[in-house]
Structure 1
Amino acid sequence: MTGNAVRRPGLDARGFLTREGSLARVPPAFRPVVTATRDRLTDVFGHRLHSAYLYGSIPRGTARVGRSDLDLLLALHQEPTGADRDDARALGAALDEEFGQIDGHGTLLFGRARLLSDLERYDLGWFVACLCTPLLGEDLAAHLPRYRPDSLLARETNGDLALLLPSWRRRIAGADDTEEARRPLVRFMSRHLVRTGFTLVMPRWHGWTSDLHEMAEAFAGFYPERGEQMRAAAALGREPAGDAAVLAAYVGDLGPWLAGEYARVHGVKAPRP
């Protein structure tokens, strides 16, 4: 970047996205969780495991004790089976029960070949290379390109919102009519909409952040008429309330508008099998 252009976060001197997390940033309170996770992954998956990664607030150094969940991505030598997914869920549940520092868990499982495939290069590949922190095994980022915050990356990461909205509506309709049942839906959908709003403007903002409030502010700079909606979503992504009206607005107003604007600006994500 030259002249008086703003130097955005998340980029190196050549304008490539940098990896956002590291084991050195793990807060001290969460280090026993990370150590136990590393040890038990080897015990549970053995030779099936190619590599393991942390992502989310723990490797970014922003995790909150008793509030943040444990997020893992596992690359297996082969495509994961039902038994692999069961093992991952059981391991996450055991860690969640044992360590009060974390509140919830989630593990993504993929075969190595898929993560390195041409189809996933600007979605899952980018996710591994830029948003995941190596924990075990060979780092797949060595086999992936460098990434810039351009329209191709925007399209392939979040250009599928229109396809997701029908399933969101079904999840809302199928949830119990309680604040407690709606709260995780509000949290999940709020975060997804804020991240989608951010990647919509990412090529113009020209940088990267995973902070929900920074994402909302970046979006609001280009779409001020929708800024308050996105700021509210960012707040609910951190402190969710199970409000049925919020969910209705997400799938009836903000979500459809955002999906249409995304398709207009960046196009639609390449279809998956």
Structure 2
Amino acid sequence: MILEKVITRIEIQNEYKDFVDKYTDNLLTEFKGKIHSIYMCGSIPKGTAKPFKSDADFTIVCANPQDIDYERLSNIKDRMLEEYPLVTKIDTIICSMDDVLSNPNDWGFWIKIICVCIYGDDVGVKVPPIVISPEFIIDLNRETKKEVDRVHSSLSNVSDSTLKTRYIKGYSKRLIRALYSLVLEDTGVWQDDIIMMKNAILNYCEIDSTLVDYLYACYLDSDVPVEEFLGIADEVYSYFENALNAMAVSRTSFD
């Protein structure tokens, strides 16, 4: 089964159009000649963003990511957030064209399936069709342990309440996304709607449903004790890791 694109048509709401255009223009001006293409994912290009609640997710594809200076990029973000307070946060990922074309089950998946091109030539069209398979699911999760360990460490040492809320919300979503990847062969589609992800996990995963419901509740309201959350998160990740390892063993046994 072939994975289809999450966003098939750009439907940016009127209140966000000026923001998207101005941020794009700022990037192109600041890094003139360095950017190949710019992409978005999430609620803004889908037309479902909520003012003062939704963030903005961009991806820059360029020949050399080192050409995009993070300090200059951060300055642009700060100015834009001040000018457009309806946007809660701006995330901007940077990758190279080679990242996209040489890693079809990682960066290729991100650009081809998750993102939609808002400027330049869409390099995603050059990525071969992505077939849902155990190999793809395993490749998709190669960085999951590193990401989980990083957020776990940050959350263990956090003192700022705003950061705590952000980490718990992000960690919850990352774990739900990881669990959802396990059921791709059952659903046949990649979902970016967290409620639909949660429901699919409950339908197809053998994990204790209370753990999934807890993560979803934390995604909605992150005001929970850190130690309690980390205990649940560890239990969920342990289930995920065991399931992924079993998938790898099963794949090997059929080779």
Q: TM-score, normalised by structure 1?
A: 0.83
Could you tell me how far 1:102 is from its partner in structure 2? 0.5
Write the mapping of 1:17-32 to structure 2, written as runs, cut at 5 A: 17-21=3-7, 24-32=10-18
Aligned to 2:132: 149
CA RMSD of aligned residues (A): 2.1
Alignment partner of 1:62 is 2:48: yes
Given that 2:100 and 2:127 are in contact with CA atoms closer than 8 Å, whether structure 1 keeps it comes out as: no
Alignment partner of 1:87 is 2:72: yes
Given that 1:180 and 1:242 are in contact with CA atoms closer than 8 Å, whether structure 2 keeps it comes out as: no
Aligned to 1:47: 33
Counterparts in 2 of 1:250 and 1:171: CA distance versus 1, 3 Å:
farther
Aligned to 2:22: 36
CA deviation profile, 1:179-237 (whole Å, cap 9, x unmatched): 43311111110000000000011112222211111111111112354223213322332
Could you tell me how far 1:265 is from its partner in structure 2? 1.8
Could you tell me how far 1:84 is from its partner in structure 2? 1.8
Aligned to 2:150: 167
Which residue, out of 237, 249, 258, partners 2:231?
Answer: 249
- List gaps (5 residues or longer) in structure 1: 1-14, 268-273
**In structure 2, distance between residues paired with 1:171 and 1:256:** 19
Could you tell me how far 1:110 is from its partner in structure 2? 1.2
Aligned to 2:105: 122
Q: Secondary structure at the match of 1:216?
A: helix
Counterparts in 2 of 1:122 and 1:99: CA distance versus 1, 3 Å:
same
Aligned AA for 2:70?
R
**In structure 2, distance between residues paired with 1:228 and 1:251:** 12
Aligned to 2:187: 205
**In structure 1, distance between residues paired with 2:140 and 2:214:** 23
Q: Secondary structure at the match of 1:261?
A: helix
**In structure 1, distance between residues paired with 2:99 and 2:190:** 25
Q: Secondary structure at the match of 2:118?
A: strand
User: What percentage of aligned pairs have identical amino acids?
Assistant: 16
Runs of 4 or more, structure 1, over 4 Å off, are: none
Aligned to 1:237: 219
Given that 1:80 and 1:110 are in contact with CA atoms closer than 8 Å, whether structure 2 keeps it comes out as: no
**In structure 2, distance between residues paired with 1:224 and 1:88:** 43
Counterparts in 2 of 1:133 and 1:239: CA distance versus 1, 3 Å:
farther
Aligned to 1:258: 240
- List gaps (5 residues or longer) in structure 2: 250-255
Could you tell me how far 1:22 is from its partner in structure 2? 5.3
Aligned to 2:176: 194
Q: Secondary structure at the match of 1:130?
A: helix
Aligned to 2:57: 71
Aligned AA for 1:181?
L
**In structure 1, distance between residues paired with 2:175 and 2:130:** 22
**In structure 1, distance between residues paired with 2:12 and 2:39:** 13
Given that 2:35 and 2:61 are in contact with CA atoms closer than 8 Å, whether structure 1 keeps it comes out as: yes
Alignment partner of 1:132 is 2:151: no
Task: Tell me the number of residue pairs that the alignment of Structure 1 and Structure 2 aligns.
Answer: 249
After alignment, is 149-158 or 60-69 more displaced?
149-158
